Amino acid sequence: MCGITGILHFNKEKTIDKFILTSMTEALRHRGPDGEGYYISNNIGLGHRRLSIIDLESGDQPMLDKEHDLALVFNGEIYNYLELKSQLIKLGHKFKTKSDTEVILKSYLEWGVDCLKHFIGCWAFSLWDNQKERMFIARDRLGEKPLFYTSWNESFLFSSEMKSFFQIGFPRNYRTELIELYLFLANIPGPYTFYRDINKLLPGHYMVIHGRDIRVRKYWDIPQIDEKDLKKDKKEIYREFEDILTDSVKIQMRSDVPYGALLSGGLDSSSIVALMSKISQHKVETFSVGVPDKSFNESDIAQITAKRFNTSFNLHYLEPIQFEDTLNNLSTIFDEPFGDASAIPAGEISKFASRKVKMVLTGDGGDEVLSGYTAYLGLKYIAFINLIPDPIYALFQSLIDWSSGLTNNNIRYKLNGIGKFLKTSKYSYEKRTIEKMALAEYSIIKKLTEPIKDKISIEDYLHDFFRGCAFKDDFYKVMYYHHKHSLPDDYLVKVDRMTMANSLEARIPFLDYRLVELMTTVDKSVKQQRFERKSVLRKTIGKILPNEVLKAPKKGFEVPLREWFKDDVVVKNIKNIMREQAIFNEKIFNGIVDSNQLGEKDYGNFIWTTLMLAKNIDEKYAIANYGHY
């Protein structure tokens, strides 16, 4: 993995300032500490920071094809590069390196922009074709690798991270109209960013810039077939699933440097480790993180998996965070508000693993591909609840609400969760989605954002979002949401930034597009048999996993924020930060913090989300500053 940047001046007479390009590229040093490279030709400049994984000696970038006047900077990996290389050689192409980067160049020469359809991997790249005087930029199908772009000062700029733009004085004019969306989603959904005039290239899309003409095109999307045509042949599905996942793990283990696996103790990462151990001729290095709170800790089960597959097990216990240092560090890493607090342990395990290896495979994406979240099981419970007569339903709901008021802390949290589930069970799908995703009550978030003018409401956003969904059944709508929003805007952002912040490459076998295309066309009766999560994985790789893994309840890779935010000193700091920024009504926000501290409600994640917003809203950034560019 690497970091890429670039500048294309619309005025062909304007030459590239190498100092500017170097500053943009240097901002990405953490993504590529092993080397840097530049391509400058009149009004075109490309920059690259390298993390060497494949072809350590001849894989430097930008990579040039002087015969055809091409220049390429590339972040990611093409996992099937050896197979493509063999195919391209048969078609008459000659290679000078052993790298997957050169495979992209030759694929472009052979197939043009359709080369994207031939790649299995993760990528964001920019290819300058001097003969056609155009720039070709592309992002992988699922959005594993980031790509930001903007038009500014009569130029087109792109980068792996927005900090490249800020490094040269790009104004941080934030978009207050996105704050409601952020508080509900805990992230800024693409193609938006929190800053005006900066966009994210969406997954499965590419761009062609020719002169001042900038065109964005979609080249891939998840299949959406008629629900009556979804696959139900279990035997064939199991065979195809196991074949693809095994091949995905195999080709993603290609590396010229030491590598390992992140092992949480869950079903997904355990399956990846099982396959790696089966394929590898050496002990697999596995890395796990533990927390003192047993309700969040999976390290014991991770150790059982590590022992079963004879891995070299490395365990790191997460220590109590230094509150302000962690907050400041993460706001810098993400460049914009990002509220998923599991970034904290993700960063810790990435830092821990990077001391020993440069690349890891992870179990991320399994919940999305396998429809494994508890939300899918919840749909079955909702179907039963909707059979209960309304008077009995209302009585039971009142009883739960009354009982929760007599307790606090863990029992109250559980009763609150049950009450919320009952309340939303009668809602329409979109309204239920809004209530479920919210980390605080719907009414509270609406009150907090009431003063914001011209805001994009969560209702309007989801209404537009689901226009692209052809599925009618709520099960497949949840699947669509997870693939189109949760993955690219939350989980993959977290994985990319936290691993890259520690100069560690993460590979995700579950997100092989062949697997995604298979599983999005599988009927829910096969994916979820009775009340069993991830039935397809359990019926295949699950057969060789320890029983402890198969029986363990689902846990998120999270930290106990609600407990950390009960500390008097931390609470005081939180209130001071929000008072200084004056984003929300102070009385309402302090009420949230106090309720969490008293153990009445679990607002830990919501408080964290608001703090990440506060750290990104600072008047010194809101002032337009065009710097020296």
Active site residues: 2
- Beta-sheet pairing, 155-159 with 2-9: antiparallel
Nearest to 72 by CA among 50, 94, 56, 53: 50
The secondary element (H helix, E strand) that includes residue 435 is: helix 429-437
Q: Residue 421 contacts by C-beta under 8 Å, 6 or more apart in sequence?
A: 378, 381
Residue 191 preceded by cis peptide, ω within 30? yes
Paired tokens of 448: 């907090």
Paired tokens of 81: 């590069």
Query: Measured between alpha carbons, how far is 352 from 354 in angstroms, rounded to an integer?
Result: 6
Contact 261, 250 (CB under 8 A): no
3-state secondary structure 194-240: CECCCEECCCCEEEEEECCEEEEEECCCCCCCCHHHCECCHHHHHHH
- AA identity, residue 53: I
Q: Is the dihedral of CA 343, 345, 351, 353 positive or negative?
A: negative
Query: Measured between alpha carbons, how far is 164 from 162 in angstroms, rounded to an integer?
Result: 5
Nearest to 157 by CA among 190, 197, 104: 197
Residues linked to residue 38 through DSSP beta bridges, in sequence order: 47
Reduced to 3 states, what is the DSSP secondary structure of residue 123? strand
Paired tokens of 180: 């409601």
Reduced to 3 states, what is the DSSP secondary structure of residue 556? coil
Angle at 358 between CA 352 and CA 364, to 5 degrees: 75
CB atoms within 10 A of CB 387: 7
Query: Measured between alpha carbons, how far is 157 from 289 in angstroms, rounded to an integer?
Result: 38
Query: Measured between alpha carbons, how far is 110 from 276 in angstroms, rounded to an integer?
Result: 34
Residue with tokens 């599991």: 342
CB atoms within 10 A of CB 281: 4
- Beta-sheet pairing, 505-507 with 359-361: parallel
The secondary element (H helix, E strand) that includes residue 495 is: helix 492-500
Q: Residue 554 contacts by C-beta under 8 Å, 6 or more apart in sequence?
A: 266, 372, 373, 374, 533
Query: Measured between alpha carbons, how far is 271 from 549 in angstroms, rounded to an integer?
Result: 10
Query: Measured between alpha carbons, how far is 421 from 444 in angstroms, rounded to an integer?
Result: 18
Query: Measured between alpha carbons, how far is 154 from 534 in angstroms, rounded to an integer?
Result: 51
- AA identity, residue 355: R
Reduced to 3 states, what is the DSSP secondary structure of residue 6? strand
Contact 516, 218 (CB under 8 A): no
The secondary element (H helix, E strand) that includes residue 58 is: none
Paired tokens of 580: 């200084």
Which CA distances in Å does 1 have to 236, 297, 512?
35, 30, 17
